[in-house]
A and B are shown apart, each in its own frame.
Chain A
Amino acid sequence: MIPLSWYLYLSAGLFGLGLYAVLARKNAIAILMGVELMLNAVNINIVAFWRYLTPQNMSGQAFAVMVFAVAAAEVAVGLALVISVYRRRKTVDASEINLMKW
């Protein structure tokens, strides 16, 4: 068995990448992809903890499945929003979508 920590490093790395994408990328779709990465990293984390610490419980698996579902829904809604914004403002650049400012 490879040690649990390796999975955690992986998920941490993936999470960090995803966080960087969300915070630093201009393209809104890239931001959404970053969010997906973060969610998946979290999933890996959940599954790893499940497998290594409480394999007999169903809760880990159930939680991971819920995250899948939520991520999918969220992506759908997010993409719909981005398309709607693109139709209106002809751009997917996140720094240009700043109407709600002071």
Chain B
Amino acid sequence: MTTEILIWLIPLPPLLAFFLILLFTRRNHALSHTLGVGAAFLSWLLGMIVFLAAIGVEHLGEQPFTSSVGWLPLGSDVFSVGVLIDPLSAVTLFFVAWTVLMIFIYSIGYHNFGQPKGEHDVPGLPPHGANQHGHGVPSVEPMYARFFAFIALFAFGMFTLVVSDNLLTLFVGWEIMGLCSYLLIGFWYAKPSARAAAIKAFITTRVGDVFMLLGIVALYAATGTLNFRQILYSPELLQQLASTPSVIAGLSAAGLIGLLLFIGAVGKSAQWPLHVWLPDAMEGPTPVSAMIHAATMVSAGVYMVLRMFPLLSAGWEHGAPLNTTMTVMAFIGAFTALFAATIALTQKDIKRVLAYSTISQLGYMIAALGIGAYVAAAFHLVTHAFFKALLFLGSGSVIHGMEHGVLHTGEHIDPQDMFNMGGLRNRMPITFWTFLIGGLSLSGFPLITAGFWSKDEILADAFGNGHLLVFITLAVAALLTAFYTMRQITLTFLGAPRTQAAEHASESVRTMTAPLLVLAVFAIGAGWVGIPEHFPGLGGLLPGWFHEFVGGTLVANPEAVAFSIEPLLVSVGVALGGLTLGWLVYRKAAEADPLRKPLGAIYGLLENKYYFDELYDSLFVQPAKRLAEGFSYMFLDRQVIDGALHRVAQAGLSLGSIFRNYFDAPVVNGFGDLTGSLTQSFGRLLRKVQTGQVQQYLLFVALLAFGGLFYYLLSVLQ
């Protein structure tokens, strides 16, 4: 089997699992998760084979694995779709395959496979626990099989996106993931908050998606193709797009298309201003959050920007000022990174902190791409997927442990509120250590964690190329990141338990902790493949493989930025400083957040996410509803258009009545009636002649006869 056929096969097992589970194995939990995990494993296996084949190829960027087939006959041509594995998609395939498989395995334990059914559990609501031997135990999820079907479809969408060789099938995978995020965020659909969050996610990303569709269409119209190799690897074509003006003044065709596509990424990767859906998406089960917000969906946005980087940066060369699209990207990325980090400082829910941290980290990647740090952004994408998935799955483990405690003690507390936790380090050791590794990686703990290497490279690139504003913003954001991460770890695991439930929390089952361990390995080790060569000491010990390999995706292999000590110091400083500060502030924290009083009103602003949800509601949602029902339907359709029609009908009716009452009845009808009545009156008059007396009749006859005779005689004898 050639590698190309294997690439075609990668997305198929999850799709098959989706259909099989939904159609046949809905009631059998074991069979459903076997199908799901089996499919994820198959895709993982195929992915690994392809990946290993890919890294063995010299200059994969020039000779990638490709294969295509004709899909749409249009005019005299045929629009083709196919698969492509070049360095970028190879590394993406790597982390997607691993994280997806880990999440699938994790889901078995998360949804309490093997546990009894809860007495009050209904499909549509989270399980409440069952009564076993007198005390509460976790109960199995009622919609167990459906969950696996949906994450299988999700996996299909992501794999399709990764192996695509053209924007159209990338968009197909993109939207399928959007559908699955809707289905999965709203998995517990009977909860009104989940239902609302699902709709919010879908609609917010749809805003980005319609712009992206326009971008795809514009690109197709301008170049006649959507194939990556044909567009992005042809410098003449890119140059032409960069110099043709578009319909918007001041923007080249490449700029317009780039911006439109970027807006799609803004929606999908939850950048400001389309970030509002991601925190609410925590309503979904935790594996979903891991899947959507770490491994797959949000990464898809960054992946697309990475993929289209040659187009987005068309007209720009290394060292030159940034073009319009890149400026926008740098601004939005850096702003979002800081913006989300500030909000994360005040969140109480363990998953919400991670949500805002995801938004912030994605901002890093977007900012990196905005300043042209292609390899750094790709690197951070890979490492972030690992440690963020680890953190989310770890938080799920924590929540499970807390729920165990809640069921045990019967307390009515929120198991996701960090201020109800504390001291879990002794109760849940594996979770603690893996979460710590993930948190340190996120904060960029120097040298041993993967996050350090990728974050450092972004900062180095920003500093080295003179984008100081971006550098400072990202550095401050890194400080806040380390701070709130340590805040999270301290509140959750360190110190003393703050509630009874926390005292009785227990470690999670093996199907949940094993993936945590695997991901922890990657959270540490994934960074070592990207150690820059110029790094003092360590540089050159392990080859800077990542930079060479992924850099080869671009036509002109970008040069690594020269080493300078300042960004390194800043990076180490903010990481360690933030971690220490976080520990210091929170290690004695009890019920209330110690930051609340010092920050005062600002704390309220951050806690309420700068009131963006309320702003959007009053600015967009309510007016849209009024526009839809009040204006478009009731006014335009019913009053204006139907009103006009009714008036026409009324006019027709009046016209008809006028004709009937003033012409038809009196004139036409009346004429007929008149004839009749005239005849009648004549008859009434003339009948008087009939007296019944014969002699009178004879008299008339005689008179007439003689009269006629005389007349005749007189006229003849003239």
Contacts and interface: CB of A to CB of B under 8 A. Distances in A.
A/B contact in complex, CB under 8 angstroms = yes
Contact of B698 (A22, A97, A98): A22
A19 interface: yes
Interface string B683-699: 00001111111110011
Contact of A98 (B687, B688, B692, B702): B692
Contact of B695 (A22, A99, A101, A102): A22
Contacts of B690: 100-102
A24 B696 CA distance: 9
Interface in A1-53: 19, 22-24, 31
A95 interface: yes
B691 A98 contact: yes
Contact of A102 (B691, B694, B698, B702): B691
A71 interface: no
Interface in B693-717: 693-695, 698-699, 702
A94 interface: yes
Given A94-B694, A97-B692, 4 more contacts: A98-B691, A98-B693, A101-B692, A102-B690
Q: Which of B690, B692, B702 has the most CB of A within 10 A?
A: B692
Contacts, number: 34
B695 A95 contact: yes
A98 B697 CA distance: 11
A95 B702 contact: no
A94 B699 contact: no
B693 A102 contact: no
A102 B699 contact: no
Nearest to B683: A102
A95 B699 contact: no
Nearest to A101: B692
Interface in B437-463: none
A101 to B, nearest CB: 3
Contacts of B692: 97-102
Interface in A64-102: 94-95, 97-102
Contacts of B702: 19, 23
Interface of B: 687-695, 698-699, 702
26 contacts: A19-B702, A22-B695, A23-B695, A23-B698, A23-B702, A24-B695, A31-B694, A31-B695, A94-B694, A94-B695, A95-B693, A95-B695, A97-B692, A97-B694, A98-B691, A98-B692, A98-B693, A99-B692, A100-B690, A100-B692, A101-B690, A101-B692, A101-B693, A102-B688, A102-B689, A102-B691
Pick the 7 closest A-B CB pairs, nearest first.
A101-B692, A98-B692, A102-B687, A102-B690, A98-B693, A100-B692, A101-B691
Contacts of B691: 98, 101-102
Contacts of B694: 31, 94, 97
Contacts of B687: 102
A31 B695 CA distance: 9
A96 B451 CA distance: 140
A97 B696 CA distance: 12
A23 B699 contact: yes
Contacts of A31: 694-695
Nearest to B693: A98
Contacts of B693: 94-95, 97-98, 101
A19 B694 CA distance: 13
Q: Which of A19, A22, A101 has the most CB of B within 10 A?
A: A101
B507 to A, nearest CB: 125
A99 B694 CA distance: 10
Contacts of B698: 22-23
B685 to A, nearest CB: 10
Contacts of A99: 692
B718 to A, nearest CB: 23
Contacts of A94: 693-695
Contacts of A95: 693, 695
A14 to B, nearest CB: 16
B699 to A, nearest CB: 5
A100 B690 CA distance: 8
Contacts of B688: 102
Contacts of B699: 23
A98 to B, nearest CB: 3
A16 to B, nearest CB: 11
Contacts of B695: 22-24, 31, 94-95
A23 B687 CA distance: 22
A98 B692 CA distance: 4
Contacts of A23: 695, 698-699, 702
Nearest to A94: B695
A79 B702 CA distance: 23
A102 B702 CA distance: 22
Contacts of A98: 691-693
A9 B438 CA distance: 159
A95 B693 CA distance: 6
B700 to A, nearest CB: 10
Nearest to B689: A102
A35 to B, nearest CB: 10
A52 to B, nearest CB: 21
A98 B702 CA distance: 19
Nearest to A35: B698
A97 B689 CA distance: 16
A22 B689 CA distance: 19
Contacts of A97: 692-694
Nearest to A26: B695
Contacts of A102: 687-692
Contacts of A24: 695
Contacts of B689: 102
A29 B693 CA distance: 15
B523 to A, nearest CB: 126
Nearest to B694: A94
B709 to A, nearest CB: 13
A94 to B, nearest CB: 5
A44 B692 CA distance: 33
A24 B699 CA distance: 9
B690 to A, nearest CB: 4
Q: Which of B688, B695, B698 has the most CB of A within 10 A?
A: B695
A61 B612 CA distance: 138
Nearest to B706: A19
B165 to A, nearest CB: 110
A100 B689 CA distance: 11
Contacts of A22: 695, 698
A101 B688 CA distance: 8
A31 B689 CA distance: 22
Nearest to A24: B695
A68 to B, nearest CB: 23
A8 to B, nearest CB: 15
A98 B687 CA distance: 14
Contacts of A19: 702
Nearest to A19: B702
A23 B705 CA distance: 14
A95 B694 CA distance: 8
Contacts of A101: 690-693
A91 to B, nearest CB: 13
A100 B694 CA distance: 10
A31 B698 CA distance: 11
A16 B242 CA distance: 134
A56 to B, nearest CB: 29
A60 to B, nearest CB: 22
Contacts of A100: 690, 692
